[in-house]
Structure formats: structure tokens, C-alpha cells
Amino acid sequence: MFKSGLSKASAVLIGLSVLVTSAGIAFADNLVGTTSARKPVEPNKIQLTQRINAVNIENRTAAMREKLASREAALKLKLQTFRDQKKATVAARISANLNQINQNQTTQMQKHLDTMTSILDKLEARVNKPTPDIKDPANAKAAIASARTAIASASALVAAQAQNDYTIQVTSENRIGIDAKIQRDKLHTDLLTLRKSVINAKQSVANAIRVAKSGKEATTSGKQ
């Protein structure tokens, strides 16, 4: 059940960029025009925060790897006392896999959030120009600002999740299966919660695109 849940979460995350892109990337690209004629968009505070967060995530990930290596080493020392070394080997592998899954998932989620930011940058560049295909620039800007806030919030949660440690906490050799399940279930729950935040950001971006195209706030904002 755990593997199935993670697979579903991963599949949805992989499809996030596709869904947002199909919702309006062509519209955004057409609005922006050629890259040679495009003027740089002055980043606002939220954009700068997002970029700083991306750098911080990389630094924190490196530090986290060192911390995990230390904790995994401590785990292996405990596992060396097990009578059943086959069981100990399996436990060590599961513990390492849980932390690797967390790192892979948070990295992938941040990539999706970065893609969403890129889409908003293109959309905002066009909204800031006086053109007839943007019916209500003020409303579009408000929707874009809301989407950026959702992305910033999700990015902060991704950064926090990346710091979580799912190394198995050994209570005894007889309970190692239960100990592993506790950490496995915790990871599963945490990733599903985080996934909801990323999906919310994706829906906010899709809504911003709809608002820019229609000039009206979508009545089903945040829903597909």
C-alpha cells in the first residue's frame, strides 16, 4: 500500500508541469513574443525569495546528506548487534531507501515549482504590456500575485520536508519490522501532505492563466 501510494504521488507530480503547460503555456509563449524582443522582467520580492530558497535548498540538502550519513552509521552499529544479520541488512537498506525517496521527491517537487514560476514570469511579462488580448490587467496581476504566494508557500514546505530524517529508530531486534513501518508510514503521510500544497500552487497558476485569458476570476478557482 505504501509503495502504491508513493507511486501515485510520484505520477501526479511528474504530470504537474504537463497539466499546467497544457492549461496555458502556449498562451503564455504567444503573449510574450520572441525572446530577442523580450525585456527582462524586474523580479519582485516573492520572485527573489523563491530564487534564494532554491539556493538554500541546495545548501541544506548537502548538509542533510552529511547528517543522514552520520545517523545511518549509528544505525548500522546497532544493527551489527542483531543475531539475524539478514534482517539487519534489510533494515539498513529500507532506512536508506526511505531517506532517498524523500530527497528524490522533494527535488522533483521543487523542479515543478520552478517550472510554474517560469510560466508566471512569461505571463506577467505580457500582462505588463498594453495589449488587447489581456482584458483586465489588474485582475490578472492579482491572480499572478496569488499564484506566486502559493508557490512560495509550497517551496518553503518542500525545503522543510527535505530536512526530515526517516532513518529507522531501532527499539529492539524483535520490533525492527514495526520500527521500519513507523518511519515508512510517516514518510508516506508527509509526502501526501506536501503534494497537496504543490497541487494547490499548480491550480493557482492555471487560474492565473485563465484570468489573463478571460479577464475574470475563475469561479472554480483552485479546482480542475
Q: SS3 for 170-219, per residue?
A: CCCCCCHHHHHHHHHHHHHHHHHHHHHHHHHHHHHHHHHHHHHHHCCCCC
DSSP 24-56: HHHHHHHHH--GGGPPPPPP-HHHHHHHHHHHH
> What's residue 12's pLDDT?
45
The answer to whether residue 202 scores a pLDDT higher than 70 is yes
Per residue in 27-86, pLDDT (tens digit) is 544 443 433 344 444 556 556 655 665 566 566 666 767 777 777 777 788 878 888 889
> What's residue 144's pLDDT?
95
Per residue in 21-30, pLDDT (tens digit) is 444 444 544 4
Of the pLDDT bands very low, low, confident and very high (cuts 50, 70, 90), residue 181 is very high
Instruction: Give percent of the chain above pLDDT 90.
Output: 44
The answer to whether residue 198 scores a pLDDT higher than 80 is yes
Q: Please provide residue 80's backbone torsions phi and psi, each rounded to the nearest 5 degrees.
A: -65, -20
CB atoms within 10 A of CB 89: 13
The answer to whether residue 142 scores a pLDDT higher than 80 is yes
Least confident piece of the model among 21-35, 131-145, 164-178: 21-35
> What's residue 220's pLDDT?
42
Per residue in 89-127, pLDDT (tens digit) is 999 999 999 999 999 999 999 999 999 999 999 999 989
Single pTM value for the model: 0.70
Cα–Cα distances (Å) from 175 to 18, 60, 78, 94, 199, in that order, read 43, 32, 13, 15, 37
**Can you say whether the dihedral through the CA atoms of 21, 22, 24, 27 is positive or negative?**
positive
Least confident piece of the model among 19-28, 39-48, 138-147, 195-204: 19-28
Q: Please provide residue 216's backbone torsions phi and psi, each rounded to the nearest 5 degrees.
A: -130, 145
